[in-house]
Amino acid sequence: MFLVDGFALGAVVALAVTTVIAMALEPRRLRPPLTGVALLLVFGGSVLAYVAASPWLFLAGWVLTMVPLWFEPDAVPPSARFLLLAGTLVLAAGLILDARQPDSASRTLVFALVAGAALVRQGIVPFHYWVPHALDQGGVTVLNVFLNSQLGLYALVRFGMGRLGHRPDEWLWWLGGLGIVTAIYAGLLAIVAARPRRVLGWLWVSEAAFIVSGLLNGGPEGVTGALVHWWVVSIAMALLLGVYRALEARTVAVERPADLLGLGFHAPRLAVAFVVAILALVGLPGTLGFFAEDLLFHDALEVHPWLGAGLPVAAMLSAIAGLRLFSTLFLGRRGVHVPVIVDARPVERWALAVPMILLMVGGLLPDVVVALRADTAAWIVGLLALR
Amino acid sequence: MAAVLALIVCVPGLVFLTLGLCWLVAGPCHERIVARLTGVTSMVVCAGAAALGWALLSTALPVVATPVVPWLHVGNYHIDLALVVDRLSWPLVMLTAILVGVVGVFSVRYVHRERGFFRFFLLLHLFSCGALLVLTAASFDVLLVGWELVGLTSVLLIAFFDERPQPVSNAVRVFAFYRVADLGLLVGIYVLHSSARTTAMATLFDGAWPDQRSVLAGGPAAVVAVLLLMAAAGKSAQAPFSGWLARAMEGPTPSSAIFYGAISVHLGAYLLLRARPLFEAVPAVSAVVVAVGAVTAVLATLVHRASSDAKTSLAYAAMAQVGIVFIEIGLGWPRIALLHMSGHAVVRTLQFLRAPSMLHDYHRVHAAAGGQLAQTGAHFERLFPRSVRAWLYRISVERTHDDVIVDRLITGPVARVAQWCEAFESRGTRPGPRLAPRPRGRMVAEGVDA
């Protein structure tokens, strides 16, 4: 009934860290009713999906994670909910077809359906619309855990990759390329987006696309880089969204980013956590993200000699967008109408310090982290080699 | 000696981590503690660098190297952590150690009671670690780590006076320039991994500096050389990446001295010197290096002569000198280039540190000369007709239109397309999140009741 291998364990650990950070940084005053229940449903559903041995249990977990989005009025706008529902139906169709012992051509259809569901859930172009839209309009904390569950990627690896039958290399090549295109597109839009929530949404799409591209490019470097980057994105995005939520609690509504200038002076710890998370997310040295993206670049350039050069470009765009967001939120002269805010409280300091230390120690000892993901990477490379 | 080499790179990094951790737990340290710690760190690094120099001079060894430690290993792809000091890097290591110490001592008074005092020294130590890592890296992978750290600290120090909008926007722009140029180094390293299966300099280049030969030749060598030139031009503010240097002058003067007068601005030239065998293998790229240096030197000299403020004038003067260093490297004169870099770094640091009192100094010299100070360079200007001089002056005052060209040809069109896409993507959304309205006054009074 349940299966706990290295892949599942890695996903559970990343999600647990994400959830703890999100809960610790969620301001009680802004918390809508039933947020705790919603978080429990998303976390529980994700864990159920991770450890499920049967596809039906996985599907149950997948659906469970979507319940809060459907019933929580603040969580996600209707258009995004319907897109996610469509993705779920596509996944269900794929799993039903898979249960009927398909032939080679039908197995390819299974892969296509599961990949389609995964692309929707990960916000890959052309299904990217819902992520920045949802983060812009919805509840950050529930979405923080929902997005960082990376359940689309999990489904793709667990139920998609082993089913590649007909012309597998072309499939992987096109989907990996789609990941690179998404990373560039989202990085570009992150630079020009005006509202901080949308910038964070685009950054998440861009970085999730890095992971998709690494997994589908299929080389040992790319797969390992993708698995390491999965952890980096989960921790860094949880930190970014958590810090942003903490800022919202201190400054009423963040409708005009210019209203927030100069918060770094009063909240230096929040500012430092934010900048460390940005650096890790966009792969600058001193953080684990640097090595994850280095591996991803290497594999992308091997598989897509021209398009692969787009991945460093996407990282560059994300980095500029990230620094721009940091400067908008934390630097500059504080307006007279902006309240004097308090820095991180003791509980929040722990929630900020632990992920920062994880990201920075990982940057000093990348081989240790890679060793933790080596078995899973070898298993995924083996799955792709079976095609 | 290998331990000493590792020590001089690690000590500033450890000081950065220790100070950062202390700040996270208990807040910023007292100014006096930071100043003493900076002094001790500088002395340790200087002593270590001097010991390395003694080891190089007193023995016949061409290099001092640390053992190779595997840092990252996946399949056939591996990054090894190793440091090396040879006759190219030692003078620059020594120079960095001394100048960081000088700037550190100077800054204790310069940023005294500034609200960013602690931040300044934290970033100075991180910069020192990054610069020493670049100079002692035994592979291009390790060099990239130091290279990015130097860029990052540079950007954060440009935004040091963050209560003003200009330094902040300039920092973001400089960061964008750095990131674009660093693509060259990133992709160049990939090509090295792909074609030579290594980025270790000892494997890529046979022999001891400056008489090295590249094992890579032909197409891959040309591609890597061009990509490294792009990265070097970005770091050293050479054409077409010259626009950022004047913007970087928004940072505190001591950081301008160490970054844009002394060390950071010369790291591009160092990269070219380090990868010189690749350029020798492809003479056409060496010619491009000369052309880049010559164009930058001429244009920067013009702007330097027309600049109305001291720091901008010095920045363009530095850019012109680094352009000449590029020419020397392209022509195959590595020893002269190294000597030029070292001398220029020292002189320019002194000029930058004296910049706040430059007008006072000028008046004193002017008075001492009896008010008869001759205008330099006027005899060259007289060679041109008046109309050409006016035209050149206009270009110089506009700083050769660098920013306008970049905005109109690159960032403007890209931003317009991106803004159109973002407008399309965000259609139908409300202008902000749904948050429960709360009275602001209570929050101001009580802080966050989270």
Contact yes or no for A133 and B429 at CB 8 A: yes
Residues of A in contact with B146 (CB under 8 A): 285
pLDDT value of residue A308? 87
Mean pLDDT of B21-48: 91
Name the residue of chain A whose CA is nearest to B13's CA.
Answer: A286
pLDDT value of residue B430? 60
Question: Contact A380/A10 with Cβ under 8 angstroms?
Answer: no
B450 reaches A (C-beta below 8 A): yes
Is pLDDT above 80 for B224? yes
Contact yes or no for B447 and A341 at CB 8 A: yes
How close B345 comes to chain A (CA, Å)? Answer: 26
Taking only the tens place, the pLDDT of each residue in B133-186 is 999 999 999 999 999 999 999 999 999 998 888 899 999 999 999 999 999 999
pLDDT value of residue A337? 66
Task: Name the phi and psi angles at A230, rounded to 5.
Answer: -55, -50
Residues of B in contact with A327 (CB under 8 A): 159, 162, 168-169, 171-172
Contact yes or no for A367 and B155 at CB 8 A: no
CA distance B233 to B227: 10
pLDDT value of residue A262? 64
Is pLDDT above 90 for A264? no
- Going by pLDDT thresholds of 50, 70 and 90, the confidence category of residue A346 is confident
Mean pLDDT of B60-72: 88
How close B252 comes to chain A (CA, Å)? Answer: 16
Name the residue of chain A whose CA is nearest to B189's CA.
Answer: A298
Interface probe for B, chosen from A131, A316, A330 (most Cβ of B below 10 Å), is A316
How close B271 comes to chain A (CA, Å)? Answer: 18
Contact yes or no for A367 and B162 at CB 8 A: no
pLDDT value of residue B341? 96
Helices (H), chain A: 6-25, 35-51, 55-71, 78-99, 104-122, 130-137, 140-148, 151-155, 168-192, 196-217, 220-250, 263-266, 268-281, 288-303, 310-330, 346-364, 366-385
Mean pLDDT of A144-158: 93
pLDDT value of residue B380? 76
pLDDT value of residue B60? 75
Q: Which of A137, A290, A348 sits opposite B429 (nearest CB)?
A: A137
Taking only the tens place, the pLDDT of each residue in B393-442 is 999 998 888 889 988 998 999 999 999 999 998 886 665 544 444 434 33
Taking only the tens place, the pLDDT of each residue in A271-307 is 999 999 999 999 998 899 999 999 999 999 888 888 8
Contact yes or no for B432 and A254 at CB 8 A: yes
Residues of A in contact with B419 (CB under 8 A): 192
- Going by pLDDT thresholds of 50, 70 and 90, the confidence category of residue A74 is low
- Going by pLDDT thresholds of 50, 70 and 90, the confidence category of residue B449 is very low
pLDDT value of residue B438? 41
B24 reaches A (C-beta below 8 A): yes
* Pairs of residues, one from chain A and one from chain B, whose beta carbons lie less than 8 Å apart: 177
Interface probe for A, chosen from B72, B76, B133, B223 (most Cβ of A below 10 Å), is B72
Residues of B in contact with A319 (CB under 8 A): 175, 179
The CA-atom distances, in angstroms, between B342 and each of A216, B96, B436, B439 are 49, 10, 61, 61
Residues of B in contact with A26 (CB under 8 A): 450
Contact yes or no for B159 and A327 at CB 8 A: yes
164-183 in chain B: CB under 8 A from chain A: 164-165, 168-169, 171-172, 175-176, 179-180, 182-183
- Going by pLDDT thresholds of 50, 70 and 90, the confidence category of residue A385 is confident
Is pLDDT above 80 for B377? no
pLDDT value of residue B342? 96
pLDDT value of residue A345? 82
Q: Which of B168, B172, B422 sits opposite A189 (nearest CB)?
A: B422
B440 reaches A (C-beta below 8 A): yes
Taking only the tens place, the pLDDT of each residue in B71-107 is 999 988 889 999 999 999 999 999 999 999 999 999 9
Name the residue of chain A whose CA is nearest to B181's CA.
Answer: A316
How close B434 comes to chain A (CA, Å)? Answer: 7
Mean pLDDT of A38-64: 93
Residues of B in contact with A276 (CB under 8 A): none
pLDDT value of residue A149? 93
Residues 6+ apart with CB under 8 A from B194: A301, A302
Name the residue of chain B whose CA is nearest to A325's CA.
Answer: B172
Q: Which of B162, B415, B434 sits opposite A332 (nearest CB)?
A: B162
Residue identified by tokens 């320019």 is: B348
Mean pLDDT of B442-448: 34
Mean pLDDT of A10-17: 95
- Report chain B's mean pLDDT, rounded to a whole number: 90
Is pLDDT above 80 for A167? no
Mean pLDDT of A305-326: 93
**What is the value of pTM for the model shown?**
0.92
- Going by pLDDT thresholds of 50, 70 and 90, the confidence category of residue A258 is low
Residues of B in contact with A292 (CB under 8 A): none
Which range has the worst mean pLDDT, A375-379, B66-70, B399-403? B399-403
Is pLDDT above 80 for A71? no
Interface probe for A, chosen from B23, B73, B74, B133 (most Cβ of A below 10 Å), is B74
Q: How far is CA B236 from the centre of its chain?
A: 7
pLDDT value of residue A253? 53
Q: How far is CA A157 from the centre of its chain?
A: 15
Percent of chain B surpassing pLDDT 70 = 95
Contact yes or no for A137 and B430 at CB 8 A: yes
Contact yes or no for B75 and A220 at CB 8 A: yes
380-439 in chain B: CB under 8 A from chain A: 414-415, 417-419, 421-422, 425-426, 429-438
Percent of chain A surpassing pLDDT 70 = 93
Q: Which of A224, A284, A324 sits opposite B152 (nearest CB)?
A: A284
pLDDT value of residue A62? 95
Q: What is the ipTM of this complex?
A: 0.91
Higher confidence at residue A156 or residue B377?
A156
